[in-house]
Amino acid sequence: MLYLDHAATTVMRPETRDAMAPFFDGTFGNPSGIHAVSRAAKNAMEAARERAADLLGAAHPLEIVFTGGGTEANNLAIVGSALASGRRRGVVVNAAEHDAVIQSAEFVRSLGCEVSIVGVDGTGLVTPDDYAAAVTPDTAVVSVMVANNEVGTLQPVSDVASAVRAVRPEVAVHTDAVQAFLSEDVTVAVTGADLITLSAHKFGGPKGVGLLRTPRDMKLESVIHGGGQELGMRSGTQNVAGIVGMVAAMDASVADREAFRLRVGGARDAFEAALRSLVPGVEVNGPPHRRLVQHSHVRIPHLDSETMLIRLDQADIAAAAGSACHSGAVEVSHVLAAMGFDERQAAESVRFTFGWVNDIADGADAARRVAAVVEALR
């Protein structure tokens, strides 16, 4: 199987496995306890928190809140900001955000909060001035992802943050960096964001663990209630093995980032170049230069993506249509709809995403296999 669905989940890094191993038996304690077994788990978790803060350029380790994944972190950022301090305040997002952001915004709308959804252009890009125009005195938070999870469009997050703060400096800026951390420099300084979401399984960590960076002086309403773990913002016994594994994957990703861009970007470029020569009429969706090096979202006119996915699977290629969260239930992508695609155009689009295990030979091999499938279908 040539696995080209790394945006959905990627292969666990060996550094992750090694870091997690001690916490499956020997250091298995609940980090909330006071005895030695629990203290060992607590110490490991706090060491991971410190390292995560360093890697994100956070001012203090307690700015890192560990969560059960990116979706939960996005919910905490959006819902937690809108409902903080017992108030119901506004949210601004864009039409191409991940469902975890859009649905969180729709949830607070149902509670009476004002929600504005700004548009994107034909490549999926937002305009910072649109965000600035959408904020009001009642806005609590704006959200703009670093990179789109479907087409890979890289958003001008720092420019959005600057534009918003120029008119409403009190408004919090959130960015979903889940898809971007693997290949992009994601720090507080680079993004300009107050709130940053990560999810471990997108960059070689385990599933079911993520984090939200939040300033220590920012108030968020908890979305999971219970024992008050994670500074009262995320109750529930922490997944120590997962947390340690995630931070090991963060370390490995940052160390490999420059080589990743060259290696995996080369694979993606080889794939697209060969595919264009082998498949007449193929189109690459998204901006030509402002997108993740690992993403290739292509449209093959007159071929249905659902049929393509089935035939690609038979040809031992794993790919996706729509976002990863919709795999197995192909429907018109809200991202492509926001970019102006009609139902037919969206239904002809397939996402191929490369990972840290791929090289340039995989790109050429993938193009040949895809071309063979297209030829057979045509």
Q: What is the 3-state secondary structure (H, E, C) of the chain?
A: CEECECCCCCCCCHHHHHHHHHHCCCCCCCCCCCCHHHHHHHHHHHHHHHHHHHHHCCCCHHHEEEECCHHHHHHHHHHHHHCHHHCCCEEEEECCCCHHHHHHHHHHHHCCCCEEEECCCCCCCCCHHHHHHHCCCCEEEEECCCECCCCCEECCHHHHHHHHHHHCCCCEEEEECCCCCCCCCCCHHHHCCCEEEEEHHHCCCCCCCEEEECCCCCCCCCCCCCCCCHHHCCCCCCCHHHHHHHHHHHHHHHHHHHHHHHHHHHHHHHHHHHHHHHCCCCEECCCCCCECCCEEEEECCCCCHHHHHHHHHHCCEECECCCHHHCCCCCCCHHHHHCCCCHHHHHCEEEEECCCCCCHHHHHHHHHHHHHHHHHHC
Same domain (yes/no): 178, 298: no
pLDDT at 323: 53
| Domain stops at, among 252, 284, 319 | 252
Q: Domain check: are 81 and 138 in the same one?
A: yes
pLDDT at 143: 98
Judge if 160 and 264 occupy the same domain: no
Q: Which of 208, 236, 252 is the last residue of a domain?
A: 252
CATH number of 300's domain = 3.90.1150.10
45 & 166 share domain: yes
**pLDDT computed for residue 328 by the predictor:** 54
Q: Tell me what pLDDT residue 238 has.
A: 95
The whole-number pLDDT of residue 26 equals 83
Based on the domain organization, do 260 and 331 belong to the same domain?
A: yes
Q: Among 105, 104, 286, 106, which residue's Cα sits nearest to residue 179?
A: 286
Catalytic residue among 59, 166, 325, 376: 325
What confidence score (pLDDT) does residue 318 get?
A: 97
Structural domain of 55: 14-252
The CATH number that applies at residue 36 is: 3.40.640.10
Instruction: Based on the residue annotation, tell me whether 113 is a catalytic residue of this protein.
Output: no
Domain boundary among 230, 252, 274: 252
Q: Tokens 């199987």 sit at which residue?
A: 1
What pLDDT score does 378 carry?
Answer: 87
Query: Are 137 and 30 part of one and the same domain?
Result: yes
**Are 165 and 245 in the same domain?**
yes
Q: Name the stretches of the chain with pLDDT < 70.
A: 322-331
Note whether 218 and 340 are same-domain residues: no
Domain count, the chain: 2
Question: 196 and 54 share a domain?
Answer: yes
Do 130 and 37 belong together in one domain? yes
Statement to judge: residues 296 and 235 lie in one domain: no
Q: Is the same domain home to 33 and 122?
A: yes
Stated pTM of the model: 0.96
